[in-house]
Amino acid sequence: MTAERVDLGGHDTPCLPADRLGAALGFGPGMLWIKRDDLTRLAGGGNKVRKLEHLVAAALAEGADVLVTGGAAQSNHVRQTAAAAQLTGMDCVGVFSSDPPPVPEGNIIIDRLLGLDERWMGPLGFHEVDAAITQVCDELEAEGRAPYRIPIGGSSPVGALGYVDSADEIDQVAPAGSVVYVAVGSGGTAAGLGVGLGSWDRLMGVDVVGGRSLEGFVARLGSEAAALIHRPDPGGRAGFDRSQVGEGYGTPTEECHAALELAVRTEGIILDPVYSGKAMAALVADRRSGRLPADQPTVFVHTGGLPGLLVDRYQSWFPQP
């Protein structure tokens, strides 16, 4: 690769067979694998660390002294960015698309432990958050700081390189021709995987946000990432499963709840209710309907996000005995 990478503990995660879960879904032996990107080694783990290894390298190369990014109140990306800043001697500002909660919970507790500078902007749309990140960067520059702007989810061409790395790791371990299921929020993870896998036809991206078009953006982001490292654009055409969004980003669904229970009771693996749980719900639905054949090698990318499960919104899933 031509891009630099700072080691934040985001690469070489295990890719392991999940035969008990596979058997429960009717897969043949050795057909279902899980890429454990929840086991990256920064502030509770998760997929954003891979992107941050490249983004932080770029920030340091530019002489930045503060990382500026944003997302929803329970953003795993903001948590991991704050930790990356601490590890590399920078400050971090997090721009949030809501009002502050009355009581800190989940990721917000960890954000405060990490000393994150929180900017609560009130309700904002997806694209409005990126505009607010730029506004904060402008304010910091006026104060004499050197900010490095990181879009929502780290989804830039540089950030997407982290998931080219992940695809390369998958292909070193999993059966040849595996299809890969992954949750899609901001799109950078899917873009990098598409480049690394070499074909969009090998990728099943599960939309967890809804209300926007992903195909063109992800394909364009993948093309720009590929150009940075002199790889060809992926073949095929990017497509996304929108069946698991429910009423919107982060909203509980019974399909997600059932997928969480199935994964933990067969493999002891805890998924999260915003990203990986809904992606697993899509995989379960595809296998049970026959859209995903029992003899098709399949890799599920676990993107982390455990702190998001520990918020009031999901209490109804766990009633008092």
The pLDDT tens digits for 41-71 are 999 999 999 999 999 999 999 999 999 999 9
Rg (CA), the chain: 19
262 is written with which tokens?
């199935």
Q: How confident is the model at residue 3 (pLDDT cuts 50, 70, 90)?
A: low
Closest to 87 measured CA to CA, from 9, 165, 161, 146 = 9
Give the whole-angstrom CA distance, residue 229 versus residue 192.
Answer: 11
Domains and CATH numbers, the chain: 15-45+155-317 (3.40.50.1100), 62-152 (3.40.50.1100)
Structure tokens at 123: 């309700």
Per-residue pLDDT tens over the stretch 196-234: 999 999 999 999 999 888 999 999 999 999 999 999 999
Structure confidence by residue, pLDDT tens digits, 257-313:
999 999 999 999 999 999 999 999 999 999 999 999 999 999 999 999 999 999 999
**Residue 271, φ and ψ in degrees, nearest 5:** -90, 170
Is 75 annotated in the active site?
yes
pLDDT at 1: 40
Question: How far does Cα 89 stand from its chain's mean position?
Answer: 24
Mean pLDDT for the chain overall:
96
Residue 10 has pLDDT above 80, yes or no: yes
Q: How many other CB atoms sit within 10 Å of the CB of residue 168?
A: 14
Sign of CA dihedral 286, 287, 292, 298: positive
- Dihedral angle, C-alpha 280, 163, 193, 308, nearest 10 °: 20
Average pLDDT in the 69-95 region? 97
Closest CA to 206 of 253, 244, 238: 244
120-147 tens-digit pLDDT: 999 988 789 999 999 999 999 999 999 9
- Specify the range with the lowest mean pLDDT, choosing from 3-7, 186-190, 204-208, 311-315: 3-7
How far apart CA 133 and CA 95 sit, in angstroms, is 6
Predicted confidence at residue 127, as pLDDT, reads 80
